[in-house]
Amino acid sequence: MEIFSEMRKSIRELWLLLPIANLVGPTACPVALLVATMAFVYLKARRLQSNTPSSKENSAPRANRMSNSNKNRPPGSWTPSHFTYPPISSYPSEVGNIKPIPYRPFRWGEYHVTMGIRSMPWDEWIELDNQYEAYHRIRAHRIRTRGEGVIRVMPDNTGVVQSGAAAAVELVHELVEYLSRRYPTTFSVTRHSNTTDSTFGWEGAQPIKTITVVPLNVTYDVPLSVEEPGAAVRALEVAALIIQEDLALMVEGLDGKYYFQAGAICVPGFWRMQDKIGLPLDQIHITGDVPRYKEKLEMSMERFFQRMTVDKPVVRNNYFFQVIEPKSETNSIDTNVSIREDKEVDPEELAWSESTNGPEDDFIHGHRKPSRPTPGVADLRLRSERQTLRRLPRSGAIVFTIRTYLTPMEDLGREPGVPGRLASALRGWGRDIGIYKGKERGNWWDALLGYLDACCDEQLAQGVTAEGAGKEHYPL
Ligand X SMILES: *[C@@H]1O[C@H](CO)[C@@H](O)[C@H](O)[C@H]1NC(C)=O
For residue 441, the minimal CB distance to ligand X (Å) is: 24
Answer for the pair 307, 70: CB distance below 8 angstroms, yes or no: no
Q: Tell me the β-bridge partners of 387.
A: 316, 402
- Our measurement of the distance from residue 322's CA atom to the centroid of its chain's CA atoms, rounded to an integer in Å, reads 17
Shortest Å distance, C-beta 332 to ligand X: 15
CA distance 242 to 125: 14
How far, in Å, CA of 306 to CA of 407, rounded? 36
Question: Which is nearest to 436 in space by CA: 106, 110, 18, 13?
Answer: 18
- Name which of 146 and 381 has its Cβ closer to ligand X: 146
Q: Is the Cβ of residue 5 or residue 338 nearer to ligand X in the bound state?
A: 338
Q: Which residue from 190, 206, 274, 283 is in contact with ligand X, where contact means CB under 6 A?
A: 206
Distance of closest approach, residue 338 Cβ to ligand X, in angstroms: 5
**Cβ nearer to ligand X, comparing 206 with 274:** 206
Minimum distance of ligand X from residue 191's CB (angstroms) = 6
Residue 158 interacting with ligand X (CB under 6 A): no
- Does the protein bind ligand X through residue 359 (CB under 6 A)? yes
Q: Which is nearer to ligand X, 224 or 397 (CB)?
A: 224
* Total number of residues that touch ligand X (CB under 6 A): 9
Neighbour count for residue 370 (Cβ, 10 Å) = 7
Cα–Cα dist 363/213, whole Å: 35
Which of 114, 193, 225, 332 lies at the binding interface for ligand X (CB under 6 A)? 193
* Shortest distance (Å) from residue 206 CB to ligand X: 5
Of 339, 435, 466, 476, the one binding ligand X by CB under 6 A: 339
What whole-number distance in Å separates Cα of residue 459 and Cα of residue 38? 37
Q: Is 217 in the site for ligand X (CB under 6 A)?
A: yes
CB closer to ligand X out of 64 and 212: 212
Give start and end residues of each alpha helix (H) in 186-264. 231-242
Least spacing, CB of residue 82 vs ligand X, in Å: 19
Q: How far is the CB of 205 from ligand X (least distance, A)?
A: 7
Kindly give the interhelix angle for 132-146 and 231-242, rounded to the nearest 10 degrees: 150
Q: Which is nearer to ligand X, 325 or 415 (CB)?
A: 325
Q: Rounded CA gap, 288 and 271, in Å?
A: 10
The answer to the question of residue 195 lying near ligand X (CB under 6 A) is no
Is 194 a binder of ligand X (CB under 6 A)? Answer: yes
- Nearest approach, Cβ of residue 239 and ligand X (Å): 21
Candidates 227, 295, 361, 440: give the one binding ligand X (CB under 6 A): 361
51 binds ligand X (CB under 6 A): no
Q: Which is nearer to ligand X, 96 or 359 (CB)?
A: 359
Give the span between the Cα atoms of 194 and 178, in whole angstroms.
20
Q: Which residues pair with 258 in a beta bridge?
A: 252
Distance CA 249, CA 254 (A): 16
What b-and-e string marks burial along 72-87, b requiring 16 or more CB atoms within 10 Å of the CB?
ebeebebeebebebee
Q: DSSP labels for 116-166?
A: --EEPPGGGSS---TTHHHHHHHHHHHHHHHGGGTEEE---BTTTB--SHH
Report the residue number, 142 or 391, with the smaller CB distance to ligand X: 142
User: Hey, which bits of 42-126 come out as E strands?
Assistant: 118-119
Of 236, 84, 81, which Cα lies nearest the Cα of 173?
236
Q: Which of 336, 431, 440, 462 binds ligand X (CB under 6 A)?
A: 336
Nearer to ligand X, 358 or 408 (CB): 358
Whose Cβ is closer to ligand X: residue 80's or residue 149's?
149
Tell me the closest approach of the beta carbon of residue 93 to ligand X, in angstroms.
21
* Residue 338 touches ligand X, criterion: CB under 6 A: yes
Shortest spacing between CB 97 and ligand X, in angstroms: 19
Q: Report the interface residues with ligand X, using CB under 6 A.
A: 193-194, 206, 217, 336, 338-339, 359, 361
